[in-house]
Amino acid sequence: MISTIKINSEKCKGCSLCIKACPKQCISLSKQFNKAGYHWAVLEKENSCIGCGFCYMVCPDVCIEVYKDL
């Protein structure tokens, strides 16, 4: 099974809740800033994502989408 997430970099405020919620520790903050001046979350370890959706559930700005392929 291949899973991944997509993060809207312009909506993300870099709160780090998704980073703390990820059981596989595959999310980190970018080194760049978005237009609002925040470091946004990025999927760093693409092959480690299991598509659990914890990041999606804790995101207060609803900027994460979870994708699962069977």
How high is the pLDDT of residue 2? 85
Q: Is the pTM of this model over 0.85?
A: yes
How high is the pLDDT of residue 1? 67
pLDDT tens digits, 5-21: 999 999 999 999 999 99
Greater confidence, 1 or 55?
Answer: 55
Boundaries of every domain in the chain: 2-69
* Strand ranges, E, within 2-48: 2-7, 27-29, 41-43
Asked whether the beta carbons of 3 and 66 are under 8 A apart, the reply is yes
What is the fold of 2-69?
Alpha-Beta Plaits (3.30.70)
